[in-house]
Amino acid sequence: MFTGCNGISFENAVIIKSKTTSEEISNEYVYLSMFYGNRGKVRELQQQSPADHYKKSYDVMKINLSNGETKEVIFDITNFFG
């Protein structure tokens, strides 16, 4: 379901293999839950925004973790929005 890297930069963006746009978006949240915990308990979504970088499309999610740390996770969405 997930390929690519850990999402810490555009060059290491997470690539999600999905068949539809809605499945793609849903799987972004699955990825966040798997690696950063359940929404509301361990993490909160602070911001979600589209970005373009070197002719590719990305979804950048900024999350707040329960320990006070803020993380940015980058998903390559070129297959659906590029």
Q: Look at residue 82 and tell me whether its pLDDT is greater than 90.
A: no
> What tens digit of pLDDT does each residue of 18-68 get?
888 888 888 999 999 998 887 777 788 899 999 999 999 999 999 998 888
User: Sorting pLDDT into bands at 50, 70 and 90, what band is 81?
Assistant: low
What pLDDT is attached to residue 15? 92
What pairs with residue 76 in β-bridges?
Answer: 15, 58
pTM over 0.85: yes
How far apart (Å, rounded) are the C-alpha atoms in residues 5 and 42? 22
DSSP letters spanning 1-62: -EEE--SSSSTT-EEE--SSHHHHHHHHHHHHHHHH--BTTTEEEEEEEEEEETTEEEEEEE
Q: Look at residue 1 and tell me whether its pLDDT is greater than 80.
A: no
Domain boundaries, the chain: 2-81
